Structures are given as structure tokens and as C-alpha cells.
Amino acid sequence: MHILIPADDIQRRVREMAAEIERDHPDGVHMIAVLKGAFVFLSDLARAMPGRCSLDFMAVSSYGTSTRSSGQVQLLKDLDSGLEGRDVVIVEDIVDTGLTLAYMQQILRARSPRHLRTACLLSKPSRRQVDVAVDYTGFEIEDQFVVGYGLDYAEQYRNLPHIAVLD
């Protein structure tokens, strides 16, 4: 395993993203994190935003224990509250094929938020299978499997403060 993005770089970029999100949401923001991978990103992002901010969580099916996407998305846990008229930001760990995010955006848009935007810490543009809008991107990376800062391999490594590549 080697470090791809050091913890300090992540912290700096997350603070920049938090400032951008706050600037775009002067009336406050409702942030929806996609479990489990986005929990660390959400936690740092939310703490860098001193303004009005509420949180909710969703869980969708993901990679399981392999490093390849199944391409199938399933809703495992829904939100606790409705979105009508609210300024919503989806908080995702990583956009790979884009299938998960496209699914999330589709079902959340149907709940009539005032705005629906998306913040992703990492993006692998070369892997994209569907064209999906991401308003705030932390880092673009190559096509490689990464762990740390919430991201796992077989439920391990989520606790690392940096992003690492499994060799």
C-alpha cells in the first residue's frame, strides 16, 4: 500500500470545499451522506461549515468485498426526513462509473428539493459510464482502487487519515 493523498492535503481541500458549499447556500444546507464510505468526509466537511447545516444518511449497495463495481444499485437505508423545497447536497466518497450517484440523484430529485447539488471527495473520470453532474470535486484520480478516509477494502482501512492505493 502507498499513500496517494496525504491527510494534510485532504484537510486543506475539504476546508476549501466547505467554504464553496457555504457560499452557494447562504440560507443553510441539508447534507445527505452516502454510507458507509462518506462518513469521514461528511464529518470533516460539516465541522468546517459554521453556518446552518442539517444532516441525513442513506445507504446503497456498493462494492462488497471485491474491487469491481457490479453496476447494480440497491437502496438499503432511506432518509429520515423529506426534501421538498430544501437546499440539498449529496455527500459522496468517490464517483467511479457514476452509476451509484446517478441513481441517488434520480430518486432524490423526485422528492422536489429546491436545489440538489453533489459533493464528491474523489472522482475517477476515466471510469465514467454515465454522465453525472458533480458540483464540488475534491480530487480527480487515475483508475486505481483506493482505500482510507472512509473508503474500505473488505471493511478494512476506513480509519486511515489519508487516501492510499492497494498495490
Greatest extent of the chain over all pairs of C-alpha atoms, in Å: 45
Looking at beta carbons only, is 22 or 102 nearer to ligand 5GP? 102
Binding-residue pattern over the window 76 to 95 for ligand 5GP, x denoting contact by CB under 6 A: ----------------xxxx
Asked whether position 138 contacts ligand 5GP by CB under 6 A, the answer is: no
From 87, 93, 96, 152, active-site residue: 96
Is 93 catalytic? The answer is: no
Angle, in degrees to the nearest 10, between helices 7-24 and 39-47: 60
The dihedral sign for the CA sequence 156, 160, 165, 167: negative
Cis omega (within 30 of 0) on the bond before 77? Answer: no
Asked whether position 37 contacts ligand 5GP by CB under 6 A, the answer is: yes
Compute the distance between CA of residue 24 and CA of residue 106 in angstroms, rounded to an integer: 22
Asked whether position 146 contacts ligand 5GP by CB under 6 A, the answer is: yes
Query: Which positions lie near ligand 5GP, rule CB under 6 A?
Result: 37, 62-63, 69, 92-101, 145-147, 151-153
